[in-house]
Amino acid sequence: MVRISKPKTFQAYLDDCHRRYSCAHCRAHLANHDDLISKSFQGSQGRAYLFNSVVNVGCGPAEERVLLTGLHAVADIHCENCKTTLGWKYKKKRRPRGARYLAYSHTTG
């Protein structure tokens, strides 16, 4: 179990606590609103959502990749239901604000 020690920054949105994020293609559930860390992260394909945990995703092989925030070990993640690529996952500790997963434009809320 990984303990997230930094304060969460999205508490202003928690009143909408039943909201879920899902695959834009097949609507499979991907994450709870509670697991959303940031909606304003910039990924290589535009704005990305940053999640603490996700479900229903598969993971490709890890690789070193230069992102806007520096060199990271990441692995692409895809929807396990329809295989749409959703974003990527950080493999090491150097990740923004304790986050583990990024999913970009193929995710809808």
Strand partners, 108: 22
Q: How far apart are CA 100 and CA 96, in angstroms?
A: 8
Contacting residue, 79, 99, 102, 103, with Zn ion by CB under 5 A = 79
Q: Which of 28, 59, 67, 73 binds Zn ion (CB under 5 A)?
A: 28
Quote the radius of gyration of the chain (alpha carbons, Å).
13
Beta carbon of residue 44, minimum distance to Zn ion (angstroms, whole number): 20
Contact 101, 77 (CB under 8 A): yes
Binding of Zn ion by 25 (CB under 5 A)? yes
Of 43 and 98, which CB lies nearer to Zn ion in the complex structure? 43
